[in-house]
Amino acid sequence: MTIVDSVLSAVAKIERLSLFPTVFEVVGTPTAVVAELDRADAAGYEFVSRIDTVKSIMMAG
């Protein structure tokens, strides 16, 4: 398993999240990062919705 933290939001902002499933078989994120993303979502940052989309793709694969 590959653990991603701050790189997750950076890659989401440049709209390249599709790279994760092509490079890593399993990706995990620390709970502190998930909480930070929840706060960003509540604040209205659009990149968070991109992360949710990729999470569903990675989980389905």
The per-residue pLDDT for range 37-60, each reduced to its tens digit, is 889 889 999 888 888 766 654 444
Tell me the mean pLDDT in the region 1-5. 78
Indicate whether 21 pLDDT > 50.
Answer: yes
Single pTM value for the model: 0.64
What's residue 44's pLDDT?
93
In the three-class reduction of DSSP (H, G, I as helix; E, B as strand; rest coil), residue 46 is classed as coil
What's residue 56's pLDDT?
55
What's residue 55's pLDDT?
61
